[in-house]
Structure 1
């Protein structure tokens, strides 16, 4: 089953991970945006029902709430730099007149840069080298270079100077189901109604969705509604309003789902911390 993972209570967090093992990561999602700079290995990334084969220096962009997993093949070294980005970190750029949200709104979640003396690529190389500097100086250097990397990446997206990787494979039926759920999240959603809208049988759609995503359709709907609820709570909305605006029919149902997911009451939504996890 897909699980909420990751750990973030700072504005943003950086990791450099290098290991060597064949591993199929479980399906999971984060409540924050994530950028992974893929450096080496044999890796396929599954994102919301679509599969992508990575090449060195690809940039994997995962907006908050998207279900994903890397699939690591063979025994080659898997090296990557991972950035967890909080909403407040993203907002910092917008407040200063340079929004970086376009990076998270691209036609494909896999951005492929030209490996030449371009700003994105050269900054990625320097970011990789920054892990050779230890201590506080190294931490400051990594933050500075990552900020530079994000700026150049945003410019490349805005100026259409970066490539997008098309899917290696995708299950059109799963995409159709996910799109329908997203479009009707605030409405009453049942397996029969979703199956009818997607021209599939209820039994088939339940089996296929669980097999492809690791979640039951009911779990996926609840997950998406809770993610929306969390954002609305962070905006200062009243809890009863949040409950109904996210598609829950009763506050008690919303409360139980939230408590089960986050282990605290909804009124303490800003205090949520996730478990440590890097993939």
Structure 2
């Protein structure tokens, strides 16, 4: 079963990790956006039913709510920089003319591949990597400053079509179509019988296949996606009763229980928390 992991108590949190161990990472998701800048290792990345083999300096872009996990092979060193990013952080870029939110837009593949020739994005990626060897008192400030530069050059590279969207990966086409159907029909009937009928599968086979490919139950995945949509609609200032039905919950009590179970607070308290960038 996929679980929510990681907590964000500020607008940006950066990690540099380099380890060599036998490790099976479980499927998981976050309530914030995440970027992984991959440097070395024998690693593939599973994102909602599709696996992508990583190459050095690939950029893994995971929007909030996406189920994912790295798969580490052998005992080679796995080195990466990970950034946890709040909506307020991206908004600050957008307000100053850098459309950073495009990085997490749905039309982009989750794996962005830098060009082979050295350019500004590759250069700042290298400098960002070296910044973790800095032991001076200002090292954290240096890392955050270079990450700002990284985001700017990444946004420019996307706008200028300088990156390759890695679309080939090991995937189950049935699951891909099913995930896309769920994403576009969150306010509809997504019960097991309804999905099984729409995709000409038996209910038992659908549930087994979905769990094997995504690590989640169908019901758990649908609830997660509906709550993520509810959070987005809260940002728009929509009424809770309207949000409840737009996200496919049959009544407010069901919505309230799902929200309380996931976020350990009421939906009304959730709306107030959204105005605070230190929420997660």
TM-score by length of 2: 0.93
Shift of 1:96: 1.1
Question: Which residues in structure 2 correspond to 1:191-230 (within 5 Å)?
Answer: 191-230=192-231
What is the distance in 2 between the residues matched to 1:47 and 1:27? 9
Return the offset for 1:159: 0.7
Q: How far did residue 3 of structure 1 move? A: 0.6
CA offsets 1:196-232 (integer angstroms, 9 cap, x no match): 2122221111110011111111111101011111222
Listed as ranges, the matches of 1:117-196 within 5 Å are 117-134=118-135, 136-196=137-197
Partners in 2 of 1:164 and 1:226 — Cα distance? 28
For 1:244 and 1:201, how far apart are their aligned partners in 2?
28
Distance 2:28 2:132 in 1: 27
* Matched ranges for 1:216-255 at <5 A: 216-255=217-256
> Does 190-199 or 76-85 show the bigger shift?
190-199
Q: Tell me the secondary structure at the aligned position of residue 24 of structure 1.
A: coil
1:165-212 C-alpha deviation (Å, 9 max, x unpaired):
233211101111111111110112211111121222211111100111
Q: Assess if the C-alpha contact under 8 Å between 1:180 and 1:194 holds in 2.
A: no
Question: How many angstroms apart in 2 are the aligned matches of 1:166 and 1:241?
Answer: 36
CA distance in 2, matches of 1:258, 1:102: 28
Contact 2:115 2:162 in 1 (8 A): no
Alpha-carbon separation, structure 1, partners of 2:254 and 2:108? 35
Conservation of the 8 A alpha-carbon contact between 1:7 and 1:273: no
**Cα distance in 2, alignment partners of residues 208 and 135 from structure 1:** 51
Deviation (angstroms), 1:134: 3.2
Equivalents in 2 of 1:27, 1:253: separation in Å?
26
Gaps of 5+ in 2: none
**Shift, 1:108, TM fit:** 1.6
2 CA distance for matches of 1:24 and 1:249? Answer: 37
Would you say how many aligned residue pairs link Structure 1 and Structure 2?
A: 274
Deviation at 1:136, TM superposition (A): 4.6
**1:244 CA drift (Å):** 1.4
What is the distance in 2 between the residues matched to 1:229 and 1:135?
Answer: 43
Q: Secondary structure at the match of 1:6?
A: coil
Q: Distance in 2 between matches of 1:17 and 1:267?
A: 37
Could you tell me how far 1:273 is from its partner in structure 2? Answer: 5.6
Partner of 1:12: 12
User: How far apart are residue 241 of structure 1 and its match?
Assistant: 2.0
Normalising by structure 1, report the TM-score.
Answer: 0.94
More displaced 10-residue stretch of structure 1: 230-239 or 45-54: 230-239
1:277 is matched with none
| Runs of 4+ deviating beyond 6 Å | none
Counterpart contact for 2:11–2:89, Cα < 8 Å: yes
Q: Does the 8 Å CA contact 2:259/2:265 hold for their aligned counterparts?
A: yes
2:6 and 2:212 mapped to 1: Cα distance?
A: 23
- Once the two structures are superposed, residues 253-278 of structure 1 have per-residue CA deviations (whole angstroms, 9 ceiling, x without a partner) of 1111111111122222227866xxxx
Aligned equivalent of 1:25: 25
Indicate how the Cα distance of structure 1 residues 5 and 135 shifts in structure 2: closer, same or farther if over 3 A, else same: farther
